[in-house]
Amino acid sequence: MRTEEAGAGRTARPPTGRRSGGLRERLELGTARIPFRVKLGLVWIGIFVVLGILFALARFDTPWLRQHYWFIFRGLPWTVAISVMAIALASILALLGALGRISKNSIAVGLTGFYTSFFRGTPLIVQMFLIYLALPQVGIALGGPWARTLTLDPLRAGVIALGLNYGAYMTEIFRAGIQSVGHGQSEAAESLGMTYRQKMRRIVLPQAVRVIIPPTGNEFIAMMKDSALVSFLGTVVAQMEIFRRAQLLGRRDFRPLEALLAAAVMYWVLTTVFQYFQGRLERRLSRGYVREVAGKPEVPPH
Amino acid sequence: MDAQPQLDGPVVVKVEGLHKSFGQLEVLRGIDMEVRNGEVVVIFGRSGSGKSTLLRCINFLEEPTSGSIEVDGIRPAGGHRTRAVREQIRQLRMRCAMVFQEFNLFPHMTALGNVIEGPVTVKGMPRETAIPLGEHVLEMVGLADKRDEYPIRLSGGQKQRVAIARALAMEPKVILFDEPTSALDPELIGEVLAVMRSLATELHMTMIVVTHEMGFAREVAHRVAFFHEGRILEEGPAREILAAPASPETKRFLDAVL
């Protein structure tokens, strides 16, 4: 009975007003001819309409936001800068960490083991404060130039903490990536007479990158969001990133909804844009691994 | 075709008293072997008899347990791989190319990229010099038209020919072939053997070949060596040994393969 109805719904006009079946089934039958993508679009529009109504009820102050969004927006370069610097640091640390973890040197294994264990086992915000507030104490105890060197401004402390923390997680990503390159590749490189360094740089890492890039992209997206934590170290006005600006502005004018929502949307757009570029990069990296050229599947040649 | 033994050339590869154990398992139990310039030696024998291990030891992909290996006058010291030993091994490898059963082409490089990688990175050859060299060796293996293809788009036979071209581009004194046709579909074996044969007859390349292709051994090899339980049981001119093996083990193996 059911299957007959479903079949009819696909070919002829769906039966309307029938009491059989729940609301969900009737909805499915009634919209069977609308393409999935269109329905998906309608759902998204629906979500935004509902949210819009909610915000309107909360007296969303659009004119205020129009006046002030630029102040928040100017934090975007700082959010990006913090994340880029921190992911660069994290990548270097992750590479060293991964090479250390797979090495046969006990010192390297011990150091990297401590590093990953500590920075994965403690909260990021604690690490930030350790580096910002606790490190100067060590520097003063050491005396001399250390007092200055280990006293960091909030931005630097934040970047270093983010880099250390993410580097510890990414060590595993890099290790897996390096180990995903087959042993035969190493042997082929070695049999040509390559040194360890040449083998890594020319043969192993370029192939590992393919495996490393997608999860690292995810880490970078997470990092852009976690960069908001730097706010808690109290950056100076000129260097404030998105969240700190939104927080201060919203508090000053009692417009937390407007300011924080604007900040959230900026983060959202930022991560979405990055995801798009990451997808393109991944496709580019798959060169040499995909058989088809320009979408034309190829018969393996002989 | 008749391969002329050139037993008067200089010794290129010299293996003396080579032993190799993996834990309790003794894979090589005292190998002595000399290969002269221009000589083609085919090593055959049952799997597990230590054939591949010998090649891998000559290239120092495996550390010999004892004994010595000398290629073109270079004899790396055994034991701990100090900086000096690593450099000796590197020098040895530059003179001693290897072709693997599983090709091991670099998938992120084109055929030409694979071929010039050694000269450019290891020897420091300028790209402008390496590219004509790479094109030349690709032509020698009959793949000049595939220079810009990535390995994934090549057949198994073509991949192995690129791997041979990669070995040739290093201008080595000797090429070690570790079961070069064992991973290939039967109809692709011929093209690889044909290339190997041309290296022997036209370039007079010194080659040590581990293979089960006894036809190739008979036609191309100057010498064959039968491996049995980590030792060379029988060794001599290809025609003599293949026609009239002295040991019953060799005979049994040949009867099974041919």
Express each pLDDT in A77-96 by its tens digit. Answer: 999 999 999 999 999 999 99
- A190 touching B, CB under 8 A? yes
Three-state SS for chain A is CHHHHHHHHHHCCCCCCCCCCCHHHHHHHHCCCCCHHHHHHHHHHHHHHHHHHHHHHCCCCHHHHHHHHHHHHCCHHHHHHHHHHHHHHHHHHHHHHHHHHCCCCHHHHHHHHHHHHHHHHCCHHHHHHHHHHHHHHHHHHHCCCHHHHCCCCHHHHHHHHHHHHHHHHHHHHHHHHHHHCCHHHHHHHHHCCCCHHHHHHHHHHHHHHHHHHHHHHHHHHHHHHHHHHHHHHCCCHHHCCHHHHHHHHHHHHCCHHHHHHHHHHHHHHHHHHHHHHHHHHHHHHCCCCCCCECCECCCCCC
By C-alpha distance, which of A175, A174, A177, A164 is closest to A120?
A164
- With a CB cutoff of 8 Å and minimum separation 6, the contacts of B1 are B201, B219, B220
Q: Is A184–B94 a contact, with Cβ atoms under 8 angstroms apart?
A: no
Q: Which of B144, B169, B202 is nearest to B94 (CA)?
A: B169
**Could you tell me the pTM of the whole model?**
0.79
Residue A235 confidence class, pLDDT cut points 50, 70, 90: confident
For residues A217 and A173, the answer to whether their CB atoms sit within 8 Å is no
User: A203–B106: do the CB atoms touch at under 8 Å?
Assistant: yes
Using CA atoms, how far apart are residues A120 and A113, in angstroms rounded to an integer? 11
Interface residue A206 vs chain B (CB under 8 A): yes
Decide if pLDDT at A298 tops 70: no
Judging contacts by C-beta atoms under 8 Å, the chain B residues touching residue A200 are none
Phi, psi of B81 (to 5 degrees): -85, 85
Quick check: B122 and A291 CB within 8 A?
Answer: no
Spell out the residues 6+ positions from residue A15 whose beta carbon is closer than 8 angstroms to its own.
A5, A8, A9, A29
Does residue B44 carry a pLDDT above 90? yes
Classify B178 in phi/psi space as left (phi over 0), alpha (psi -120 to 50) or beta: beta
Strands B25-36 and B174-178: unpaired
Instruction: Give first-to-last CA distance, chain B, whole Å.
Output: 20
Give per-residue pLDDT as tens, A165-193: 999 999 999 999 999 999 999 999 999 99
Higher-pLDDT residue of A277, A189: A189
**Would you call B148 an interface residue with chain A, using a CB distance cutoff of 8 Å?**
no
- For B169, the closest chain A residue by CA position comes to A192
Task: Measure the CA angle with vertex A54, ends A51 and A60; round to 5°.
Answer: 100
Mean pLDDT lowest among A96-110, A140-154, B213-227: A140-154
Distances (CA, A) of B38 to A197, B179, B181, B202: 33, 20, 22, 10
What would the mean pLDDT of A246-274 be, rounded to a whole number?
89
User: Which among B112, B117, B113, B176 is positioned nearest to B141, based on CA atoms?
Assistant: B112
Of residues B61, B102, B155, nearest to A301 (C-beta): B155
Q: Does A299 touch chain B (CB under 8 A)?
A: no
Share of chain A above pLDDT 90, in %: 48
Cβ–Cβ gap A193/B118 under 8 Å: yes
A192:B154 CB<8 A: no
Measured CA to CA, the distance from residue A160 to residue A150 in angstroms comes to 12
Answer whether B121's CB lies under 8 Å from A193's CB. Answer: no
CA distance A170 to A209: 12
Question: Which pair of tokens denotes residue A97?
Answer: 């960490």
Burial class (CB in 10 A: 0-12, 13-18, 19+), B136: middle
Contact A224, A80 (CB under 8 A): yes
Tokens, residue B146: 């595939």
Give A100→chain B minimum CA distance, Å: 19
Average pLDDT over every residue of B236-255: 90
Q: Which helix (H) or strand (E) holds B148?
A: none
**If you average pLDDT over residues A58-65, what whole number do you get?**
86
Beta bridge partner(s), residue B227: B45, B232
Q: How many CB atoms lie within 10 A of CB A233?
A: 21
Mutate to test the interface with A, among B82, B108, B150 (most CBs of A within 10 A): B108
d(CA B156, nearest CA chain A) in Å: 8
> What is the spatial distance between Cα B116 and Cα A202, in angstroms, rounded to a whole number?
12
ipTM: 0.92
A23 close to A31: Cβ distance less than 8 angstroms: no
Strands B25-36 and B11-22: antiparallel
CA R_g for chain B: 18
Task: Reply yes or no on whether the pLDDT at B2 is more than 50.
Answer: no
- Number of cross-chain residue pairs from A and B with Cβ atoms under 8 Å apart: 81
Partners of B70 in the β-ladder: B14
Q: Are A100 and A109 contacting, i.e. CB atoms less than 8 angstroms apart? A: yes
Residue closest to A226 by CA, chosen among A87, A117, A122, A118: A87
The confidence band for B168, taking pLDDT boundaries of 50, 70 and 90, is: very high
Buried b vs exposed e over A161-188: b needs ≥16 C-beta within 10 Å?
A: bbbbbbbbbbbbbbbebbeebeeebbbb
Q: Tell me the per-residue pLDDT of A105-145, one tens digit each, with 9 for 90 and over.
A: 999 999 999 999 999 999 999 999 999 998 888 888 888 88
Q: Which residue of A has its CA nearest to B143?
A: A302
Structure tokens given for B11 = 């010794």
A296 touches chain B (CB under 8 A): no
Confidence band for B191, pLDDT divided at 50, 70 and 90: very high
- From A284, which residue of chain B is nearest by alpha-carbon distance? B108
Structure-token pair, residue A129: 């404060």
